[in-house]
Structure 1
Amino acid sequence: MASRISGVSSEWAQSSTALDQTIYKPSMDDRLADIKTFCLDVHNGTVFGRTPVQWMFVIIYYIIFYIGLFGMFAVFLVVFNWIVDLNYPTMQGVDSILKVPGLSFRPMPGTRSTVVRFVKGDASTYTQYLDHMEAYLRYYENQNQQGENYIDCTEIRTRRTTELSKVCRFNIEMLGASCVKQQNFGFDDGQPCILLKLNRIYNWIPEEFVNASMAEDDISEEWEQWSISVKCFGENEVDRENMGPLTYHPPKGFPFKYYPYLNQQGYRSPLMFVRFEEPVPGIMLMITCKAYAKNIYHNRVELAGMVHFELLVD
């Protein structure tokens, strides 16, 4: 038995040696020669594995392919520009997902925060707020509301029915004398002024409350027939106790004469300030401001007809 096993082992060793001798291991020179042959094979007349005729067909194919691709893109672009007007939205009124404008406020603390926090009398804590509001209000200065497209609407008391393609000039003095940059918008005295604006919706026309009985209870005593009234609240009892009295400039809200917005050149949305006269220091105030008109409803999730922010005076 041992001799038989020894014989098998001897035969296996001999076959392994023969197999090792038949395996060819290319050298580095062989590999470089193969690469050169692939790049240019003079014997077969190929370049990178293809003959010149084959390369010609490949190039023609890709030229036709990209011409067709860019042609389709151009056709889609023409159809898109034909369907969609760059100046007027395709979906308007009841067909639009934007049926009720929301409110926005300034200064904005940041993209992810709605907390307006500062230290009374410490300018370093609210300089960014002042710069933000001053830069925003600069667009409303008289020298920036000049031209043939601006008209004086001072005498209009109701809604505007003529010259809708022109823009009513917004008089920045309507924002009152207490909320001005010369007084740092009240931040020096711990009486901050928060700027409010109704967001634009194309061709949206506010509807008026005919009488006080039709107006919502929140504004039944302050409503104005030809204005979009605005009122701010503390969200809970603690907020309402500590927010103190509020004053609004102008007191009646956003006049109807500035609507509708029709993408007029130089259009300026009407503004208003809400001034916190005596906010209690050291308490985070949760504030909600709402706009009121017959065709404005309020939805916290959609932020329709309202805006939320927090105020903290240290």
Structure 2
Amino acid sequence: MADKGVDKGAGKGFWGFVWNSESKAFMGRTGSSWLKILVFYTILYVFLAMFFFATIRMLMFSLSDTKPTYQDRVERPGLSHTPRSEKEEISFNMNKRDTYEKYTNAIKDLLASYEDGHQTEELKYMNCGEAGEPGPSIDRANEDGEEKKACRFYKSWLEDCSGLKDDNTFGFRDGKPCLIVKFNRVVRYTPTAPKNASLPEALQANFDPNRIPIHCTSKIGKDKGKIVEIKYFGFGGFPLQYYPYYGKKLHPQYLQPLVGIKFDIAMNELVHMECKVFGEDIDYSDKDRYQGRFNVKLRVSNE
């Protein structure tokens, strides 16, 4: 008795599709048809591969390996400080080393490349001025393709914020903490010094056309009386002779100029600070809290 539900032609129909002995067709195509389609797709994919390779080569030829072709979306300059703070607050007890050790370790790591012994090679480093003596920008664009010497910057120039005077505690042990401030690197960017009249009154007496000054004040009015003294070390700002920066390939030893800022504030009080740099091409943005400025809350405890 024949099995019900079995299509006897199903298997024959499938195998007949795979190989048709009458037309000599494999899966519906004859040998010549398969050859034509194989040749067509081979030519197509070879063309697409060559087109892709050619476009990539054209793109690579249009790019420079020493400077970015487009950097108009880079916010400049960004201002950052070390140690970085969690939720913009640096809080510690001056009598308990473990409460501020993470901050001092961060500063030590930053200043490691500013040790005198790391800047001895005359082929890689050069003197661009002594501490406190800002100079004009050094334009070396005509040396394209040549590795640039880096301007020396010794951590000893940071004086009270160098760690050399207080066993690398950078003022934290004495309740007068230091922040080390720097510009973020932007390739071939040279900041423009401000005009004297545009500066806060506290900076006008020390105006220098070859320096981008920095100034810190209380963020909110009620904290003004909590500030005893703020001192600035290094060049008192960012000297122009350290700019521009030419990128990692041409300027591998580049050292950013640093400013050490030492805060003497009321004990056991939270003090809101704002530090800003001033220059003709420096703007401030509410969307980026580190564009040309930064805010930090400081609390020094002795209890």
Q: Residue in 2 aligned with 1:220?
A: 204
Tell me the residue number matched to 1:104: 80
Match of 2:187 among 196, 202, 208: 202
Match of 2:89 in 1: 115
Q: What residue number does 2:278 align with? A: 292
Q: 1:51 to 1:243 in 2, by over 3 A?
A: farther
Q: Secondary structure at the match of 2:170?
A: helix
For residue 233 of structure 2, the aligned residue among 249, 253, 270 is 249
> Following the alignment from structure 1 to structure 2, what is the Cα–Cα distance between the partners of residues 223 and 293?
12
Partner in structure 2 of residue 7 of structure 1: none
Q: What is the match of residue 268 of structure 1? A: 255
**Other structure's SS at 2:90 match:** strand
1:71 — aligned with what? 50
Aligned counterpart, 1:231 = 215
Are 2:138 and 2:242, in contact at CA under 8 Å, matched by a contact in 1? no
Q: Which amino acid aligns with 2:78?
A: G
Which amino acid letter does the alignment assign opposite residue 113 of structure 2? Answer: Y
1:176–1:103 CA distance, 2 compared to 1 (3 A): same
User: Following the alignment from structure 1 to structure 2, what is the Cα–Cα distance between the partners of residues 46 and 132?
Assistant: 75
Q: Give the 3-state SS of the residue equivalent to 2:80 in structure 1.
A: strand
Task: Pick closer, same or farther for the CA change 1:107–1:157 going to 2, 3 Å.
Answer: closer
RMSD: 3.8
* Matched pairs, number: 283
Contact kept in structure 1, 2:194 and 2:278, CA below 8 Å: no
Following superposition, the deviation at residue 270 of structure 1 comes to 0.2
Q: For residue 104 of structure 1, report the CA deviation from its aligned partner.
A: 0.8
Q: What CA deviation, in whole Å up to 9, does each residue of 1:260-313 have, x standing for no partner? A: 222242111100111112343242x33221112233233333443212233333
Q: After TM superposition, which residue ranges in structure 1, 4 or more long, deviate above 6 angstroms?
A: 40-62
Question: Structure 1: 5+ residue runs without aligned partners?
Answer: 1-21, 27-32
Percent identical pairs in the alignment equals: 24
Equivalent residues of 1:179, 1:275 under 8 A apart: no
Q: Whole-Å Cα distance in 2 between the matches of residues 306 and 228 of structure 1?
A: 12
Task: Give the SS at the match of 1:186.
Answer: coil
Q: 1:233 to 1:58 in 2, by over 3 A?
A: farther
Asked if 1 retains the 8 angstrom alpha-carbon contact of 2:134 and 2:235, the reply is no
**Paired AA for residue 237 in structure 1:** G
More helix by share: 1
In the alignment, which residue of structure 1 is the partner of 2:144? none
Structure-1 separation of matches of 2:31 and 2:122: 67
Provide TM-score, normalisation by structure 2. 0.74
Inter-partner Cα distance in structure 2 for 1:296 and 1:78: 37
Greater relative CO, 1 or 2 (CA 8 Å, sep 6+): 2
Q: 1:221 to 1:25 in 2, by over 3 A?
A: farther
Q: TM-score, normalised by structure 1?
A: 0.71
Contact preservation (8 Å) 2:182, 2:258 = yes
CA distance in structure 2 between the aligned counterparts of 1:59 and 1:312, rounded to whole angstroms? 75
Query: Which residue does the alignment assign to 2:129?
Result: 154
- Report the CA distance shift for 1:286/1:71 in structure 2 as closer, same or farther (over 3 A): farther
The separation in 2 between residues aligned to 1:306 and 1:104, in whole angstroms, is 8
How far apart are 1:132 and its partner, in Å? 1.9
* Structure 2 unaligned regions, length at least 5: 142-147
Could you tell me how far apart the structure 1 residues matched to 2:76 and 2:281 are?
Answer: 8
The alignment status of 1:185 with 2:160, answered yes or no, reads no
SS of 2:160 mapped into structure 1 = coil
| Offset at residue 77 of structure 1 (A) | 2.1
Pick aligned residue for 2:157 from 168, 174, 185: 174
Q: Does 1:305 align with 2:284?
A: no
SS in 1 for 2:192: coil
